[in-house]
Chain A
């Protein structure tokens, strides 16, 4: 099935032999998504919520339909879906709005995990909390500790790690800590597993579209309806007002309140197409294919001597995504990724915006990461392994 899927991504026919194992950074885009962008700009480009002429009505209509598509995708209501530029903007916004709306104690107590991406650390540190608790990883790169501080105001966590692939048991953590607001960053998991915000009973959930086969510059923030009603907006400006007077203003209600300024209309419309693309394959099929490759990757990495793998052992796809980081002793990860780059094999080297995890838990400054998506196959992994063996030969000199 994977070749069939690969053929739907033009980048692979334009770059013969490309081995793309960096989907955790950003996913490639299927032709249907690229076509959607072109369609918007060539057929009905205009601003939304403003013009009363047919083009603008069509743009507004298509843009609002995306809300419905996304709501269905994560089992939310359309009026609980806000468009942002990505997860980073969403988390920054939520942290500020929680603070400015008086929802949390000042200074707040916050619970995060050791696996957080910097985008889910810095906005919370910026609130100058009284305390930040980090749920720790066990020896198998899993988070088993679901006990957060009783009086935590906020539990903010990634859903799955962009380094170890670890899936965090957020449902258990959320249900056992009902007093804390829960903010989940599903940026890594969204393209790989079904997310149901009602089942998770999460208060806020965000993801960036570009890891979900959609363009960059579009993201989603889900806010539970009863919270959204009382929450202050985090951006102010055009398009989000009810009435503006010289002395003060009132805001629109619902998602509009949070979408000041002209949104990324084309990318939003293409995001809905990306969701339809995922639906056309189905998460069952996606999981099956990615899980098979995850296990194959782990088996093949075992052939490499002096390798340290940062990924849970003996777990199923319920506990880990196909994101595997590692280091080969004695060779810097940047050198390996540069060598692999020469062979048209794309993996990421660095701390992957997780310095706390790298420095304090893994005790290394950087690592290499291979991440798998629907368009990958066994051949990609075989080429990676061959490339790693080649790099070892080069750097033995």
Chain B
């Protein structure tokens, strides 16, 4: 049986059309940029998870929108991603989150920076489409994204 992991993905967009990303090392891609979010913990709601993650950024969040649900299936793990978009917030961001650098990156530059393969697919859709996004992504045994199906 695959390990099932419910996780949040949180895009925070400011009024300069930039999104907040965390810089991290990656096994295969060197340094990558990923949105905030992590495993939904025991007895935590997805909304509480979003609040917890946002707290570490120093921003005061006013409104959140659930914008997508993506199921990712790999050989050993199945992720259920709850993708949120936040555009209503106050305050300044802290420099880093648990040792990772936080950066505002312009949406027009998303193509140029190293994003994880799945994020490359759903990030532009979540950030531009007004509709709710629901999809299933499949990875091969080497964790390459090989198929995306949306509803």
Interface residues of A (CB under 8 A from B): 306, 329-335, 338, 342, 350, 365-366, 390, 392-397
Smallest CB separation, B130 vs chain A (Å): 28
Smallest CB separation, B79 vs chain A (Å): 8
Q: Which of B24-56 contact A (CB under 8 A)?
A: 24-28, 38-39, 41
Q: Which of B68-115 contact A (CB under 8 A)?
A: 72, 74, 76-77, 79, 98-100
8 tightest A-B contacts by CB? A330-B27, A396-B143, A334-B98, A330-B25, A334-B99, A393-B76, A396-B27, A332-B24
In the complex the two chains form, what is the Cα distance from A334 to B41 in whole Å? 16
Is A392's CB under 8 angstroms from B27's CB?
A: yes
In the complex the two chains form, what is the Cα distance from A334 to B25 in whole Å? 11
B5 at the interface (CB under 8 A from A): yes
- Name the contact of A330 in the complex, choosing from B28, B41, B79, B116 (C-beta under 8 A): B28
In the complex the two chains form, what is the Cα distance from A50 to B26 in whole Å? 61
User: Tally of A-B residue pairs with Cβ under 8 A?
Assistant: 46
Interface residues of B (CB under 8 A from A): 3, 5, 24-28, 38-39, 41, 72, 74, 76-77, 79, 98-100, 116-118, 139, 143
Residues in A neighbouring B3, C-beta threshold 8 A: 390
Is A331's CB under 8 angstroms from B100's CB?
A: no
Is A331's CB under 8 angstroms from B25's CB?
A: yes
Can you list 18 A-B contacts (CB < 8 A)? A306-B27, A329-B25, A330-B26, A330-B28, A331-B26, A332-B24, A332-B25, A332-B99, A350-B99, A365-B99, A395-B26, A395-B27, A396-B28, A396-B143, A397-B72, A397-B74, A397-B79, A397-B116
| Among A329, A396, A397, residue most surrounded by chain B Cβ atoms (within 10 Å) | A397
Residues in A neighbouring B27, C-beta threshold 8 A: 306, 329-331, 392, 395-396
| Among A306, A331, A392, A395, residue most surrounded by chain B Cβ atoms (within 10 Å) | A395
Residue of chain A at shortest CB distance from B142: A396
In the complex the two chains form, what is the Cα distance from A334 to B117 in whole Å? 22
Apart from the given pairs A333-B99, A338-B38, A394-B5, 10 other A-B contacts in the complex at a CB distance below 8 Å = A329-B27, A332-B24, A332-B100, A334-B99, A335-B24, A350-B99, A392-B27, A396-B27, A396-B143, A397-B116
In the complex the two chains form, what is the Cα distance from A334 to B24 in whole Å? 10
Residues in B neighbouring A392, C-beta threshold 8 A: 27
Take A390-B3, A392-B27 as given contacts and tell me if A397 and B143 are in contact as well, using a CB distance cutoff of 8 Å: yes
Smallest CB separation, A393 vs chain B (Å): 5
Smallest CB separation, A334 vs chain B (Å): 4
Is B118's CB under 8 angstroms from A397's CB?
A: yes
Residues in B neighbouring A333, C-beta threshold 8 A: 99
In the complex the two chains form, what is the Cα distance from A332 to B76 in whole Å? 21
Residues in A neighbouring B77, C-beta threshold 8 A: 393-394
Is B99's CB under 8 angstroms from A397's CB?
A: no
Smallest CB separation, B68 vs chain A (Å): 17
In the complex the two chains form, what is the Cα distance from A334 to B56 in whole Å? 14
In the complex the two chains form, what is the Cα distance from A40 to B143 in whole Å? 58
Residue of chain A at shortest CB distance from B74: A397
In the complex the two chains form, what is the Cα distance from A92 to B66 in whole Å? 52
Smallest CB separation, B38 vs chain A (Å): 7
Residues in A neighbouring B25, C-beta threshold 8 A: 329-332
Smallest CB separation, B131 vs chain A (Å): 25
